[in-house]
Copies of this chain bind each other. A is one copy, B any other.
Amino acid sequence: MKHKKYLLLYTLLTIFGVKAQQVSSPGGNISLEFSINSEGEPTYKVFYKNKTVIKSSKLGFTLKASENLNKGFELLDSETATFNETWKPVWGEESEIRNHYNELLVRLNQTTTQRVMNIRFRVFNEGVGFRYEFPEQPNLNHFVIEDEKTQFAMTGNHNAFWIPGDYDTQEYDYTESRLSEIRGLMNKSITENLSQKSFSSTGVQTALMMKTDEGLYINIHEAALIDFSVLHLELDDENFIFNAWLTPDSQGVKPYMIAPANTPWRTIMVSDDARDILASRITYNLNEPCLIEDTSWIKPVKYVGVWWEMITGKSSWAYTNDFKAVKLGVTNYNKATPNGTHGANNKHVKELIDFAALHGFDGVLVEGWNVGWEDWYGHSKDYVFDFVTPYPDFDVDEIQEYAKSKGVEMIMHHETSSSVRNYERHLDEAYKFMKDHGYNAVKSGYVGDILPRGENHYSQWMINHYQYALEKAANYKIMVNAHEAVRPTGIARTYPNLIGNEAARGTEYQAFGGSKPNHVTVLPFTRLIGGPMDYTPGIFEMDISKLNSDNKSHVNSTIANQLALYVTMYSPLQMAADLPENYNRFLDAFQFIKDVGLDWDRSLYLEAEPGSYITIARKAKGTNNWFIGNVNGKQNRESNISLDFLDKGKTYVATVYADAKDANYKTNPQAYTIKKMKVTSKSNISLKSVEAGGYAISIVEE
């Protein structure tokens, strides 16, 4: 299934004075044209069904203390190739992924400096990826990028789903607006975060989802972000040109490069069908194949945890209120007065283990188990956690034994408080501690401003850190779910132990004031383009004051919508985030969370419109069971789907969890209906979803 063929186009093209190089997608819908203009500036255009999607856009870099790499280029030669293979991910939305593209490699020489910069374009059926390559050469060795000058020139004032460009966080609600409206809406869109740094009133983040007035869906992101800094986009809102904007380090400097080196891939997905964006595997395909030889220890995990109770303020991470400042190794916790609200205590954790065992969950996450939470953020504190010392009321050995006896795995939590040197210093010991105590997965956190001070969450320095922690974890056979870290760019193909990331506004914000009702109809088009999110769905009690009378937040969602998320928000790591007592009140609905698959043979994108609705059907791996999820946006809507993907001639039992007629995400979010029915491949299903509602269906062969 794999072949690669290079063609030297150079001779012909130059003989006839043809400057433009072209390459099309295998199916022919998308084509890309590369050319060098009269200034020697490399440029490209993208077309979809012969209509322009990306107008002529410049390529290149400005450098520090060296001549820029953005003009004065001549074409040395070019190559095209075709690639077509199928690979099997360790986990994913489907058990086989097709990687099919046509490639154009242009080799450019800057005549005044005799420096070579190559650009490799790959055109897939759903979009384009390109990266810069700096081969080993005499005149370009160490260099420092001042700015990436890649442009993405839009054809008009598109509609966009965007979050503010920021060097430290993606935890923003999405704003839907015309490109021209971004500037005016920027301030309002920048909501508070414990660490944030915006850079421009037209700066936005990737993955950026757009829709043109002609009905084209366009998505810009990046793939394989390794040893580089995060790509942001700054809009020239007079000309609707997005300019690349890299995240600087503490000194305002962008990536330090050593040739030979490649940049990450810049990706542009385009289709006239929004479902193609969700179905695309461009991001993974542009990453390197798996580098972990034995992946048998990497397994999807469905889990519960000691978490939502702290997020809502019902209990606390900290063990005591005695200390305003903690010095690890000095502060004596054994003499401290327990505050009575500490969540991670033996008794309570055992209750969670019992609940997990009773309902067949794989794991239990416990946050706040280790000393240091009394002053864990806001102090720029270096030695904030040691990752191995439990609070007096949490007995690691006892919990390990108890969990083992119940067939449940414990999930470790490493909040770093962004004190990154401290984390790296403890990483080996912390990972060893995990393995010694039966933990195979860790949720890591990067809350607050980075130490070393002045460093940004998305700089090259920090990208290297996340990668370091991930690769070291792989050596220990540990799965990583990093929160507040960089948003994923498909690296899980290469390191499939990266089973989760936060890097967006997750469910926690439903307890911090609530997210927009259609938030989850946007995320799969944006944040999830790069990889799975530990969104932590499954909230059944939407009135947070029921958990903590001081917290007036409301979860903007119906229970049916929460169930659907287990299908629509693909992740190999799925939490049932609410408290056992809330699940016990709705055990019939909870059944879907227990039943729903975690890993998939196939995924079908039945309906999709960013911001409005998403309906996905997935076939659980190694079974004949299907699960369907529908999440709905801001307007009531009828979803009509056909079950023609079911095996012909077979009968299945479908259990449908849907919004009740009177469901309302604000006033009546717990109103749902559950119906069982027999279905076949000839069945059609029509269901009404309310605003911020949806439905979930499990389909099991009879």
Cα–Cα, bound, A421→B380 (Å): 18
Q: Which of B138, B256, B382 contacts A381 (CB 8 A)?
A: B256
Return chain B residues, CB-CB under 8 Å to A461.
Answer: 382, 452
A260 with B330: CB separation less than 8 A? yes
B324 with A138: CB separation less than 8 A? yes
A464 within 8 A of B: yes
CB distance from A423 to the nearest CB of B (A): 11
Q: Which of B253, B379, B424 contacts A421 (CB 8 A)?
A: B424
A585 within 8 A of B: no
A428 within 8 A of B: yes
A675 within 8 A of B: no
CB distance from A58 to the nearest CB of B (A): 27
Cα–Cα, bound, A327→B464 (Å): 15
Q: Which of A420-444 contact B (CB under 8 A)?
A: 421, 424-425, 428
A382 with B256: CB separation less than 8 A? yes
Cα–Cα, bound, A279→B142 (Å): 50
A455 within 8 A of B: yes
Cα–Cα, bound, A468→B324 (Å): 26
CB distance from A134 to the nearest CB of B (A): 10
Q: Which of B141, B327, B382, B428 contacts A375 (CB 8 A)?
A: B141
CB distance from A383 to the nearest CB of B (A): 9
A251 within 8 A of B: yes
C-beta contact mask, A464-496 vs B, less than 8 Å → 1, else 0? 100010000000000000000000000000000
CB distance from A9 to the nearest CB of B (A): 30
Interface SS of A by simple majority: loop
Return chain B residues, CB-CB under 8 Å to A138.
Answer: 324
A325 within 8 A of B: yes
A454 within 8 A of B: yes
Cα–Cα, bound, A249→B380 (Å): 12
Return chain B residues, CB-CB under 8 Å to A380.
Answer: 144, 256
C-beta contact mask, A390-428 vs B, less than 8 Å → 1, else 0? 000000000000000000000000000000010011001
A321 within 8 A of B: no
A547 within 8 A of B: no
Return chain B residues, CB-CB under 8 Å to A324.
Answer: 138, 141-142
Q: Which residue on chain B has the smallest CB distance to residue A137?
A: B324
C-beta contact mask, A322-341 vs B, less than 8 Å → 1, else 0? 00111100100000000000
Return chain B residues, CB-CB under 8 Å to A454.
Answer: 250-251, 454
A676 within 8 A of B: no
B424 with A382: CB separation less than 8 A? no
Return chain B residues, CB-CB under 8 Å to A455.
Answer: 452
A453 within 8 A of B: yes
Q: Which of A634-688 contact B (CB under 8 A)?
A: none
A249 with B453: CB separation less than 8 A? yes
The 3 closest A-B pairs by CB, nearest first: A141-B325, A452-B452, A141-B324
Question: What are 27 A-B contacts defined by CB distance under 8 Å?
Answer: A138-B324, A141-B325, A141-B375, A142-B375, A144-B380, A249-B453, A250-B250, A250-B251, A250-B453, A250-B454, A251-B454, A253-B453, A256-B380, A258-B325, A258-B379, A258-B381, A259-B325, A260-B327, A260-B330, A382-B464, A421-B421, A421-B424, A424-B425, A425-B468, A452-B452, A452-B461, A454-B454
Given contacts A142-B381, A250-B452, A258-B326, 14 further A-B contacts (CB under 8 A): A138-B324, A142-B379, A144-B380, A251-B453, A256-B380, A256-B382, A258-B327, A258-B381, A259-B325, A382-B464, A421-B421, A424-B425, A428-B428, A454-B454
